Chain A
């Protein structure tokens, strides 16, 4: 696929919605607008226009147009936005009209982001933040992703990097300028403490939940023997949030996955249906070996089986679905009582799930760290710990260099000159 193509895509989430935004990016973006609207409006000024199908001249919609010429657009290319009245039919008609224009084609997943990245419109963190944003299906995800793009993450790293440069400068002064009397001997203890402090701060961030969870959703597995009421409960949960159930996907023979979103929190309900066992014992019937796989990947387990016999997992919620009357409860006090049929007790269970889920997801006003970023941060923290444990200045300096490399890999802003600037900004040296 050539990058010289002009691409378009619906960029505002699935219709129906109040407004649907179609973005067109590439060298023919403005020509496409000309074809549909009959004119090219002024850059960066919203302007209303009637859009007609270029082939049969049928009126498509009355839309708001916004043009961003290259390179100052989100993708670094000529970029047009068509704000349509969001009906499904309208959007489809406009997409069809665009696809008929030569050199225009629908964008592939993530292609806008990739172009923006390739054209130097964003650094790697921002690119990753944005690609998460594009994937974000829920409000919670959108807010956390926006925070990373706004640079919250880059700012945090920037702060650490500055501190790291400072520690490095002290170390380099000891190595490169120790013959200058104006540079007082550095104390390894001071360096060691500073390294530890910084490692601890990075470590704190690493303790936070991962970004992937935010994007993919928390996995909630319903467990219990056959006929323990799993499907009824799953359907009740899904039905309660029917408006946002987006798909019933990934159906394997054994596992049903239902992505839903409750109060902006993405969840994947998983029913271990089909897990059966030929021998008679109902507990053995769980087919423990197979179930273990499903449970291992769970963030939370709703256990519908006999009390205390659920899998070994840090987040098991005991649920009692067998009785439709509170008086008939089988499980003890702290189990949640739910009636799949009447819906009684469901709200309390949802509240409990959300309460736990919030603890597992990054706070929406913070930023989430993805696997790549975790890798580099772990490396930086590790190098800092090794630096603090060393007493050879050369090793300290080498570990600090590795820590700088790791942080620089995150922001892509690397240079020894930055270190020297800090060095000479701190010390009066020279004979």
Chain B
């Protein structure tokens, strides 16, 4: 029976969070007919927690999604009211652009961008059940909504965030929901649990929101926006929204005593929450409990929007009872009179063990089912957006019969994250960190377009504006690099005011960039080049040159691994049959289903001895297979 909601689509996305929006947008850009189903039309693109985008590792993800012509970076620019380049004093590879967003402007930008995307239909409703082609089939046929309407499609991407079986905790209070004031996706959670997918629980939390009119701003040190002119998206011309400042305060011994007095009423310590929370984003009660000897913790007070008095106190995520929350907030400098508008809470939710997914985030064993975002055990908008991009591209590539872009650990943070998720699974909410990327020196936030936009163009994910902007940049980049092929001696450089060691002989200008004092700008005065290059291109080429010897060395490392990348392992490989693998290894390998020997080598705890045994058995299996054939 078809209902009035039932046009046919190619791909249905469930959930209008950061993952869902990005998935819908990319699939539609590639030409698929897409439906985005979400509880409420007006919360599409909402930021559940911290109104900030980017940071270390996360800023890289944002730029990479942007390189695929995604929407998160442009939404961030449309909403940015405070900019900071983290690690500004360190090498570009670890610099992390971070902005604070006006929540409303952000959401509005996301909704505007989606509305402007052809082939994309937004449907308001609750996804209640996946539909399959038959009762026993694992092939997706569409989706049933809570009002019993059915929509048909060959692929469904689940991007339901913290809503699957979501449960909220605050002191003794318990609520159903994925976010305060919103529903929990219980029916869908029941069906998915019943479908035999490996599920477990994780938790996260959010701080109370403060009333900015009750904060004594004058008493607190300010943290101004950084005053530069960089933006999140390569497509944004200039910063357009007024910038504001944040302020800082600190917890103190009194605050810590208040928190300790409430620990027995905390659901975290009472054993009510089973899900593991993130180690790098602990609640304030966790911090006091684990590192109680510290004399205080810094708290940033971040305005949530230009025209609202909501303030986000970054650093006191908590699920303590409201009375304790009020007391602890008021114990800090500048907050003596402060009022809480919404108290903090913790949320516990179902996630799918991402080892059940392949590298395009398709659920193994199903045909047409994908998962993206927090449902896969990650945390953060950026991580969600990047997965949405992959799942959206994965579903669209499958439908349109195009190969997936060749993303791997040596060309993107996105691939590092996906590879970590599908091979290692998670034990706590997964967050991007630059330390996770072994080829970090190559993967900079400032060269994301150079690294990835060619792949985006090839797969059809980049729109016309993006393409022409990118080609313009590449022309500049090539011109700059060729200008830097001129040769020069140390004396030539000295004349241009660059004090370098004299014994290096005559080298191409670009090679001189290995000396930290040498800049592209100064080199251009040595060369006879007269073109004016953009700052961003000059900075990118400068960093390439600076770390060139290290990057070349990493290239050799990558080539070494390539041999193992070519040795395929069947997805139904019986690791239990290999004598000598520990039970732990058998379990990890069976869950991760590595598709190559190189991937098997990355599974945690797999030793070279084990790898040799796997190789031998794989060889034996394939000889048997070829003999049988």
**Chain A residues proximal to chain B, CB less than 8 Å:** 3, 70-71, 76-77, 117-124, 127, 172, 175-179, 181-182, 392-395, 397-398, 401, 405, 412-413, 415-417, 419-420, 423-424, 428-431
Min distance, Cβ B613 to any Cβ of chain A, angstroms? 5
Interchain CB contact under 8 A, B607 and A429: no
Report whether B579 and A428 are in contact in the complex, using a CB–CB cutoff of 8 Å.
no
Closest residue of chain B to A424 (Cβ to Cβ) is B279
B609 engages A176 (CB within 8 Å): no
Cα distance A176–B294 in the bound complex, in angstroms: 21
Residues of chain B lying within 8 A (CB to CB) of residue A181: 297-298
Given A121-B580, A416-B438, A424-B279, A431:B300 Cβ within 8 A: yes
Question: Hey, which chain A residues are within 8 Å of B582, CB to CB?
Answer: 120
Q: Is the pair A175, B435 in contact by a Cβ cutoff of 8 Å?
A: yes
- Say yes or no: A76-B604 contact (C-beta < 8 A), given A124-B609, A392-B516: no
Across the A-B interface, give the 9 residue pairs with the lowest CB-CB distance, nearest first.
A120-B580, A119-B580, A181-B298, A428-B291, A412-B608, A394-B91, A76-B580, A412-B607, A430-B281
- Of A70, A175, A405, A424, the residue contacting B87 (CB under 8 A) is A175
Chain B residue nearest to A122 (CB atoms) is: B609
B282: CB under 8 A from chain A? yes
The one of A123, A182, A394 that contacts B90, using a Cβ cutoff of 8 Å: A394
The interface residues of chain A lying within 8 Å CB-to-CB of B297 are: 181-182
Given contacts A117-B609, A121-B580, contact A178 B86 (CB under 8 A): yes
**Contacts A179-B87, A393-B90, A394-B547 given; 9 further ones with Cβ under 8 A?**
A76-B580, A123-B607, A177-B280, A397-B440, A415-B604, A417-B424, A420-B435, A428-B287, A428-B294
Q: Please, which residues of chain B bring their CB within 8 A of the CB of A423?
A: 435
Bound Cα distance from A397 to B282, whole angstroms:
26
Assess the A118–B91 pair: CB atoms within 8 A: no
Residue of A nearest to B52 (CB): A431
Residues of A within 8 A of B436 (CB): 416, 420
A423 to B315 CA separation, bound complex (whole angstroms): 19
Q: Given the interface contacts A394-B547, A417-B424, A420-B433, does A119 sit within 8 Å of B298 by beta carbon?
A: no
Task: Look across to chain B and name the residue whose beta carbon is closest to the beta carbon of A117.
Answer: B609
Q: Which residues 422-466 of B have a CB within 8 angstroms of A?
A: 424, 433-436, 438, 440-441
- B578 in the interface, Cβ–Cβ < 8 Å? yes
Give the residue among A124, A398, A412 with the most B Cβ atoms within 10 A.
Answer: A398
Q: Which of the residues A123, A175, A412, A431 comes within 8 Å of B315, measured between beta carbons?
A: A431
Q: A76-B580, A175-B94, A395-B550 are in contact. Are A123 and B294 (CB under 8 A)?
A: no
Task: Report the bound CA distance from A413 to B608 in whole Å.
Answer: 8
Contacts of B607 in A (CB 8 A): 120, 123, 412-413
Evaluate contact between A120 and B609: CB separation under 8 angstroms: yes
CB distance from A336 to the nearest CB of B (A): 49
Those of B128-163 within 8 Å (CB) of chain A: none
Partner of B610 from the list A120, A394, A417 (CB cut-off 8 Å) is: A120
In the complex, what residues of B have CB within 8 A of residue A417's CB?
A: 424, 604
Interface string of B288-303 (1 = CB under 8 A from A): 0011001001101000
**B91 surroundings in chain A (CB, below 8 A):** 392-395
Complex Cα distance, B553 from A172, in Å, reads 21
B residues sitting closer than 8 Å to A (CB atoms) are: 50, 55-57, 84, 86-87, 90-91, 93-94, 96, 98, 278-282, 287, 290-291, 294, 297-298, 300, 314-315, 317, 424, 433-436, 438, 440-441, 516, 547, 550, 557, 578-582, 585, 604-605, 607-610, 612-613, 616, 620
Q: Which listed residue (B98, B287, B609) contacts A412, Cβ 8 A?
A: B609
28 A-B pairs whose Cβ atoms sit less than 8 Å apart in the complex: A3-B616, A71-B579, A117-B609, A117-B612, A118-B612, A120-B578, A120-B585, A120-B610, A123-B609, A175-B435, A176-B57, A178-B86, A179-B55, A179-B98, A181-B297, A182-B294, A182-B297, A182-B298, A393-B90, A394-B441, A397-B440, A398-B440, A398-B441, A398-B550, A419-B435, A420-B435, A429-B279, A431-B50
A/B pair count, beta carbons within 8 Å:
134
Given A127-B609, A395-B550, do A176 and B579 touch, yes or no (CB 8 Å)?
A: no
Nearest-neighbour CB distance to chain A for B95, whole angstroms, equals 10
**Taking CB as reference atom, which chain A residue is nearest B424?**
A417
The distance in angstroms between the C-alpha atoms of A392 and B94, with both chains bound, is 11
Chain B residue nearest in CB terms to A392: B91
> How many Å lie between the Cα of A417 and that of B435 in the bound state?
10
B499 to chain A, nearest CB (A): 17
- Smallest CB gap from A418: residue in B: B604
The answer to whether A123 touches B579, judged by C-beta atoms less than 8 angstroms apart, is no
Residues of B within 8 Å of A70, CB to CB, are 579
Q: How far is the CA of A71 from the CA of B577 in the complex (A)?
A: 11
**Contact among B90, B435, B608 with A124 in the assembled complex (CB-CB below 8 Å):** B608
> Residue of A at shortest CB range from B582?
A120
Distance, CA A182 to CA B50, complexed state (A): 19
Distance, CA A179 to CA B605, complexed state (A): 31
Q: How far is the CA of A150 from the CA of B336 in the complex (A)?
A: 63
- B85 CB to closest chain A CB (Å) equals 10
Residues on the B chain within 8 Å of A120, using CB: 578-582, 585, 607, 609-610, 612-613
Q: Decide if B87 touches A178 in the complex (CB within 8 Å).
A: yes
Residues of chain B within 8 A (CB-CB) of A430 are 278-282, 287, 315, 317
Interface centre among B434, B438, B441, B579 (most CB of A within 10 A): B579
Residue from A77, A118, A175, A415 within 8 A of B434 (CB atoms): A175
Cα–Cα distance between A393 and B317 once the two chains are bound (Å): 31
Which B residues are in CB contact (< 8 Å) with A413? 605, 607
- Are A428 and B290 within 8 A (Cβ)? yes
| A429 to B278 Cα, complex, angstroms | 10
Report yes or no: A176 in contact with B435, Cβ–Cβ below 8 A.
Answer: yes
Query: In the complex, what residues of A have CB within 8 A of residue B516's CB?
Result: 392
Shortest Cβ distance from A128 into chain B, in angstroms? 11
Chain B residues whose C-beta falls within 8 Å of the C-beta of A172 in the assembled complex: 433, 435
Q: Is the CB of B579 within 8 A of A119?
A: yes
Within the complex, the shortest CB–CB distance from B383 to chain A, in Å, comes to 15
A429–B431 CA distance with the chains assembled, in angstroms: 13
Task: Report Cα–Cα, A177/B94, bound state, in Å.
Answer: 11
- A401: chain B residues at CB < 8 Å are 438
A78: nearest chain-B partner, CB-CB: B579
Q: How far is the CB of B370 from chain A (nearest CB, A)?
A: 26
**Contact, CB under 8 Å: A424 / B609:** no
> In the complex, what residue of chain A is closest to B557 when comparing beta carbons?
A405
Report how far A3 CA is from B278 CA in the complex, Å: 46
Q: Give Cα distance in the complex from A81 to B281, angstroms.
A: 57
Partner of A76, one of B298, B424, B579: B579
Question: How distant is the Cα of A185 from the Cα of B435 in the complex, in angstroms?
Answer: 17
Query: CB-nearest residue of chain A relative to B435?
Result: A172
A214 to chain B, nearest CB (A): 23
The winner among B50, B84, B90 for most chain A CB atoms within 10 A is B90
A70 to B581, CA, bound (A): 12
Contacts of B550 in A (CB 8 A): 395, 398
Q: Per a CB cutoff under 8 Å, which of A77, A122, A124 touches B579? A: A77
Residue among B280, B434, B440, B547 facing the most chain A CB atoms (10 A cut-off): B280
Closest Cβ of chain A to B297, distance in Å, is 6
Contacts of A419 in B (CB 8 A): 435
User: What A residues does B608 contact at CB under 8 A?
Assistant: 123-124, 412
Report A-chain residues with C-beta under 8 Å of the C-beta of B434.
Answer: 175-176
Q: Which of B84, B581, B608, B612 neighbours the largest number of chain A CB atoms within 10 Å of its CB?
A: B608
What is the CB-to-nearest-CB distance from B513 to chain A, in angstroms, rounded to a whole number? 13
Query: B280's contact among A121, A123, A424, by CB below 8 Å, is which?
Result: A424
Q: Which of A3, A393, A428, A429 contacts B94 (CB 8 A)?
A: A393
Hey, which chain B residues are within 8 Å of A398, CB to CB? 440-441, 550
CB proximity of A296 to chain B, nearest CB, Å: 33
Please give, as numbers and ranges, the residues of chain A lying within 8 Å of B280 by CB-CB distance: 177, 424, 429-430
Q: For the complex formed, measure the closest distance between the CB of B93 and the CB atoms of chain A, giving whole angstroms.
A: 6
A415 vs B605: C-alpha distance when bound (angstroms)? 8
Instruction: State in angstroms the CA–CA spacing of A286 and B579 once bound together.
Output: 59
Question: How far, in angstroms, from A188 to B460 measured CA to CA in the complex?
Answer: 46
Closest partner residue, chain A, to B616 (CB atom): A118
- Neighbouring B residues of A122 by C-beta, 8 Å: 609
Q: How far is the CB of B556 from chain A (nearest CB, A)?
A: 12
